[in-house]
Amino acid sequence: MPIRMTKPSEGGDFSIAIEDRFDPTDDHIVELMSMDEYNGVSKIDGKPYVSIMWHCRIYDADGIAFVNLIDQAPYDFVDFSSMSLFKGTKTAKAREWAGAFLGHELTEAECETLAENFDGALVGKRALASWKVESDNNGNKKMRFALLRPIPPRMRRQAAGTNGASPVAPPPPVTPPPAAAAPGRETAAQRRARERAELEAKLAAMDNEDDPEDEEGDDVPF
């Protein structure tokens, strides 16, 4: 079944609802979660057009996703691009952003291949984003990509993190129980324990011979 997107005229907007600790002046790692087609109509000439909606999750410096203030779910950041992968005097957004998620500038041959399964090649990839905040005619603030680029090597470990989840420690090694002795035979451990007990008994007997106390525990008068 085709996905029918909600049109702006049908209600809803993309106002910023991300938690307050997010700072748009900082760069953040983003992960592409999904991509959708958006069918709109131009306000300029009334012609229909198709855009790509890039749904991303944004992470802080500790690899924890920022949440939406409304439902406390991971914040779904959305930006738009055209369907074009053209590169001329200006590179199309989709081509530029795809290159950032894949970690390198795309060649014409790569674009020809990617065009057949664009989201399949990009969803789940991460990049480093800079931001710009704009206001619409109604005063609602909207956030956009100012720049999207490959993650530098120093930040790749963060990009490969677990989104704040603590790693699961491996279970402790299981020590097998000592082998049981054959019936009628004494193991080495049993023999050492018996010898120690016999030695302690002998020492206790020697101490009792020199003990200046009687069986009642009273001191023997001098």
Identify whether 25 is part of a domain.
yes
Identify whether 73 is part of a domain.
yes
Query: Is the entire prediction scored with pTM above 0.85?
Result: no
Q: What is the DSSP string of 28-65?
A: EEEEEEEEEEEEEE-TTT--EEEEEEEEEEEE-TTSPB
User: pLDDT exceeding 90 applies to what percent of the chain?
Assistant: 50
Identify whether 20 is part of a domain.
yes
pLDDT at 199 > cutoff 90: no
Identify whether 8 is part of a domain.
no
Average pLDDT over residues 10-28: 78
Tokens of 81: 């691009």
Identify whether 84 is part of a domain.
yes
pLDDT at 217 > cutoff 70: no
In terms of residue numbers, what domain contains 81? 13-159
Amino acid 4: pLDDT: 54
Structure confidence by residue, pLDDT tens digits, 29-62: 999 999 999 998 888 888 999 999 999 999 999 9
Tell me which residue of 90, 84, 63 sits closest to 74, measured CA to CA: 63
Tokens of 23: 């700072």
pLDDT at 15 > cutoff 90: no
Identify whether 168 is part of a domain.
no
Amino acid 55: pLDDT: 97
Identify whether 123 is part of a domain.
yes
Number of folded domains that form the chain: 1
Tell me which residue of 202, 220, 222 sits closest to 211, measured CA to CA: 220
Structure confidence by residue, pLDDT tens digits, 130-154: 999 988 777 778 899 999 999 998 8
Structure confidence by residue, pLDDT tens digits, 99-125: 999 999 999 999 999 999 999 999 999
Amino acid 211: pLDDT: 47
Average pLDDT over residues 212-218: 44
Structure confidence by residue, pLDDT tens digits, 66-82: 999 888 999 999 999 99
Q: Residue 3: left if φ>0, alpha if ψ -120 to 50, beta else—which one?
A: beta
- Whether residue 185 contacts residue 194, with contact meaning beta carbons closer than 8 Å, is answered with no
Amino acid 205: pLDDT: 61
Structure confidence by residue, pLDDT tens digits, 154-194: 887 756 654 444 333 344 455 555 555 555 667 767 777 77
Identify whether 63 is part of a domain.
yes
Amino acid 135: pLDDT: 80
